Structure 1
Amino acid sequence: MRIAVLIKQVPDSDEIKMDPDKGTMIREGSGNIVNPLDLNALQAALDVKKKCGADISVISMGPKQADIALREALALGADNAYLVSDRFFAGADSWATALALAVTIIKTGPYDIILAGEKATDGETGQVGPEIAAMLDIPCATYVSFMDIDDMFVTVKRTVEDGIETQRLYLPALITVLSDINDPAMPTLSGKKRARRSDISVISAADIDLSSEEVGLAGSPTRVVKIEHPKITRHTEFYCGKDIEHGIEHVMKVLKELAIL
């Protein structure tokens, strides 16, 4: 069995800066980590490998420094690593990102199953996984909190608003997972040593036959046209002593006006 795991390097900071002109994130100057839900996806792949054997390839799209995230995945037990990196990929929206990753999956595959985190902390759109599945014309399940592979099928449980939904999909399929699916393991010393020595294949736009107009900002049909930061304002009133009863009446009045009571 061959498994592809899509991982993303994201900023390890709440102080994210945005380029107001391009509407893209400024990643320089902040620490980076592997997107947490992608670690759950990798652990799901490792669990399959332990159960029935599998060859695991991790694929990431990003700048050259994203190889750090790939080496972390190799340290955890992945077998192969591919970095989709090219200056033409800069500023890609979810669609352009999905296109580059989908073509890379075709080039490095075929794979029996593709795993990814439900969303990334730096965008939280949850769009890339389903878009890749649509481009590859394969079944897709999102919000997955349980997965079991049996022969030609994968059975999943999806955590949705109304409860738990069970689906059975033909392979190959793409699955995006939630943190409920497992607890990611920590890398071992031997795994870190192996990861340090491992080669990472770098794939450019030319390698996957994509033109500069199809990828990056030029190939992105969506744009961030305006960035706003929420402003929190408060008007505080204190009641004490003889004013407490009046204060309670005022609070009750306000809650009723807000339809809370």
Structure 2
Amino acid sequence: MSQAHPHTHQHVHHEPDDSDGLAEILDLDAEVLAGHTASIAAWLPLRTGPRQVVDLGCGTGAGTFALLDRFPDAYVTAVDASAGHLRRLRAKACARGLEERVRTVQADLDATAWPDLGTPDLVWASASLHHLADPEHALGAVRELLAPGGVFAVVELAGFPRFLPEGAPDGRPGLEERCHAVVDRLQTEHMPHRGADWGPMLTAAGFTVEGLRTVAVDIEGTGSEAVGPYALAGLRRIRGAVATSLNPEDLTALDRLLDTNGPHSILRRDDLVVRTERTVWAARRT
């Protein structure tokens, strides 16, 4: 999870604040994938518990709160271009009694100069680096700010999750894949680093990659009440991107799924499964 979302994780660029339901998708993403995020945080090759953490492109805080939970002595600086996302993250921190352990910073990671982010022991970037126009610049900036021996965790999703079984929906099997194919074509020009192998770029930037892990995501819809709303919100956003490119029959079938009052609503299905992969590169400053 773009590699994470079809224009849903663009929280490293300036954009209208959440008018398109992006924050809702990020919150649902965090809820559904919470177990996987926690397992990734636990896997990181840290020599000691980090005290200072930076979450780059934090969105509404999925990584921030997973890291706060995993490392009880840590303080997190959450960085994002969206003021709306940061307000939402701050409200969550206050509601959880964690406001003293979170600092929010609004910044464009494509800017030449970054604000002062301290000297963190751990930098976390989940589904954010591939949105950057110049990720090599960002990797160099991370290396400069990391404490000696500090760890940089890059987390990417292999595409926005799929939810429908292979033969769905009735009459238009394969609809979801055709929608994603359109999204992929549209995004190739705007995000050339989508799907990149970050290992060589990390090495070139002066890091040693100490861990590489791919985690399969396969979550039954019956196991989380958030899966249905997550699928609905994600496919609504996809529709906005692909509407003019889908054939009329596919668009009609998609609209049936998105009609929450109709008999074919995706919320009425009991066969949804969240399917994707997460890849994590854990690199140490050398």
Length-normalised TM-score, structure 2: 0.33
Flag the structure with higher helix content: 2
Flag the structure with higher strand content: 1
